[in-house]
Amino acid sequence: QLQLVESGGGLVQPGGSLRLSCAAPINNLDYYAIGWFRQAPGKEREGVSCVSSSGGITNYADSVKGRFTLSRDGTKNTVHLQMNNLSPEDTAVYYCGVVIIGANTFWGQGTQVTVSS
């Protein structure tokens, strides 16, 4: 199976920043989409940011545009989510997800992000 491992979550004050990382062995895959999702207490999981293996433009949820940035390292084995200007509304468990086009979807275990003063 494709195993994803998230890291970088923690407690941060409003206005602060965090950088999440996802170890994803996707360098041997041809067609996929990878991104970040989050689930806040009492709410359903929502998409935050994603990009496909085609190298297209990265997509962002309206709530995070201008504050969050998705990036990949040179080998594409690790993806990151730089989160700036965090607010309490960003508090959630953040998940890394990979969709193999026409096949399966894989999820990491999640990492907790808490924004509080």
pLDDT of residue 11: 98
Between 73 and 4, whose confidence is greater?
4
DSSP letters of 22-60? EE---TT-SSEEEEEEEE-TTS--EEEEEEETT--PPEE
pLDDT of residue 28: 76
pLDDT at 35: 93
Q: What is the pLDDT of residues 46-105, one digit of tens each?
A: 999 999 887 677 999 999 999 999 998 877 788 999 999 999 999 999 999 998 878 889
Reported confidence tier of residue 18, pLDDT bands at 50, 70, 90: very high
